[in-house]
Structure 1
């Protein structure tokens, strides 16, 4: 594991936000089932999205990856893979490809991943796929990967799917059932989490000519045998990455301008703008110039934050709590226990090293800030968002800190360290 020494200091300058990971995944998968050649412009070519690209290639889809484009020739899947598909640490790839693999004309697909992936719950998706005629199972009979999916297509029909663990179950089912043999109705049951990600799936499906009727609450009606149109699409900036960069700015009492911000496509983490304002940061957004200016010059307010629909903001708000003058409470995030790590547990374990007092609840955290952030060593536990959030905390500490897990940034933001260095951050790479 590679570690990095973070020296506190202010930031100043401009950065362009990297492309969206979630939209890149969805564009790759929809282009792979489209009838023709699609061009994806400005894709995020990180470890997770490359896992989706390789998975689609394993199912017979022809894909050319350029410097700033991905060319995909559908329709696929058109063959069973010749080997097991390793999704590495990409939960999005695992969930989408579990459903998409059923569209293979015959044979079987086996999906697995690293030790973290093999712990992620999959049973709600397996149950829903069975309801629309797909034969699939967990090899360990535990509802986790490795997963085996039989090809032969999707019959369609009615599927009830539990969305209380991940909205990706619904998104993957919706996209795959565009090619089902008969009309499909997908009913969300339970307290659906991260709902804006389903909205993102619906929006990009529309861009590829797909039809999904979502007028009835918690029900998605999908006409059968749809022709998915090849599309040239540009991936928007990733507001999850923007949130982390904003945290670095606010924690260090700095001013940074972020370019390429686009709110026209739905993203769960666009809520960070109002949250930063509530905390006391100064935010200026110019939609015409796609420009966001973030400024801070003092301690923050703290407060109570319901992150049910935007769980990836959990590390961001938890770290911003360290600069607050009062307690911060984060609620309704029980589903973050099923991310790359159990984020509630790891934050409760790591943040006290900074001097904070942290109380862990089944669905959230209470964080009492320290008088100052103490120098310490923080371990991201192989979680890219925790690593970047811990860097933000370290940049505001009273002395240099060591953060373990540098290699994790390849998942979603490979240029994170280089970008921050360009606006004044000081890092030193070292081995653990």
Structure 2
């Protein structure tokens, strides 16, 4: 599906309710699989969460089937979390696979960490990559070491299953830690279930806990999805956009948007669970420099916003973007260049030179990456733009195009 996005709006005044966080939902789905007396509310309706839930539901269908194939398609979070989950699910054997792109995304670091604990995992094709065969074991070892600068999803995968290990887990992270907010989110969710944890220096511990009390866990709305409304507020002439449901003291790392977009003329104000984004009049725009080591998923949105505002940016801490749904740094370089941008990338950074000219009617390729589609969409406030394979947004935000229409964007299928 190819969409043409246009907007003649000079002022945006709207309210949007955004589905639950994919990051929180997928963590809680795994915890619910281990502790069935948990109930969940406001869960994400994203493809990734649907895939995660379906994979975990196979527990009830065929709990001891050998050689059961579980296909998680493009869902990277599900691949990491389920690798750990099935590794500690004694007596269960599965083959965990995914899309062709998923089979290019490394899993070796997590597999080796699980093997330190006694997991039995083998590669079905290329060493270090899915598909993988997992023979669930009863794990008694409790100490593991892992490079600290890897995807936080590897770390969270180990922490989420840790309380079900006979002796809990002591995880030592070697080097400088990446994406600390996502690790803290995982630990906070465990703490909400009265699972004892500690995070001191580079050592994280999780105590064993065979059962938890019955409890409803309410998922906060997704801050990554909120980023597109920050971009829209920044690029509109006048804007007041209320989004819900959000917490001022959020567990999600992408809540850093509040401070990051303040530097781009957007004020944030909380009223209960509602967050209102307001464009500041007569704002003095300047080039921005951000370290996104803790929040790499919002890099695409930020650089597109900067292009639309006619300011430059230098973004660092982006090394994990090369192993996402696509090589996001290279994808950004290609697509922004088509729009007329002067952009350069390295393995972990991106630099955009300020320009006032944006080429109109450019077709943006999305590379099977939901964030490419959504990050570029707000640019329609400045120039007409085409989004190719627009249906890819269903991975994290299925209602995105309908919500944009409710803001007054003109969207037509080509």
TM-score normalised according to structure 1 size: 0.90
CA distance in 2, matches of 1:230, 1:7: 49
1:37 counterpart residue number: 37
Contact 1:88 1:113 in 2 (8 A): yes
SS in 2 for 1:124: helix
Equivalents in 2 of 1:298, 1:269: separation in Å?
Answer: 27
Give per-residue Cα distances to partners, 1:3-40, cap 9 Å, x unaligned: 11011333321112321110110111101101x43221
Name the CA distance, whole Å, in 1 between partners of 2:402 and 2:125. Answer: 42
Q: Deviations over 1:325-357 (max 9, x none)?
A: 442111120111111111111001100111111
1 CA distance for matches of 2:67 and 2:216?
30
Matched, 1:205 2:190: yes
TM-score (norm. length: structure 2): 0.94
Residue 6 (structure 1) aligned with residue 5 (structure 2) = yes
2:160 aligns to what? 175
Conserved 8 A contact 1:6-1:428: yes
Q: Please show how residues 109-188 of structure 1 align to structure 2 within 5 Å.
A: 109-188=94-173
**Cα deviations across residues 243-298 of structure 1 (Å, max 9, x unaligned)?**
1121122122231222322133311101111111112x131312435332231557
Q: Which residue pairs with 1:55 in the alignment?
A: 55
Find the partner of 2:77 among 92, 100, 105.
92
Match of 1:382 among 368, 377, 389: 368
Question: How far has the Cα of 1:359 moved from its partner?
Answer: 0.9
Matches of residues 17-416 of structure 1 in structure 2 within 5 Å? 17-34=18-35, 36-60=36-60, 79-80=64-65, 83-214=68-199, 216-255=200-239, 256-279=241-264, 281-288=265-272, 290-296=274-280, 300-375=285-360, 376-397=362-383, 400-416=384-400
Q: 1:155 to 1:170 in 2, by over 3 A?
A: same
Q: Report the count of equivalent residues.
A: 409
Go from structure 1 to structure 2 and tell me whether the alpha carbon gap of 1:320 and 1:192 turns closer, same or farther (over 3 Å shift).
same
Cα distance between partner residues in 2 of 1:44 and 1:365: 30
Task: Choose 310-319 or 191-200, whichever is displaced more.
Answer: 191-200
Gaps of 5+ in 1: 62-76
Contact kept in structure 2, 1:59 and 1:81, CA below 8 Å: no
Q: Which runs of 5+ in 2 are unaligned?
A: none
1:323·1:369 contact (CA, 8 Å) conserved in 2?
A: no
RMSD: 1.9
In 1, the alpha carbon distance for the partners of 2:250 and 2:324 equals 24
Following the alignment from structure 1 to structure 2, what is the Cα–Cα distance between the partners of residues 330 and 130? 36
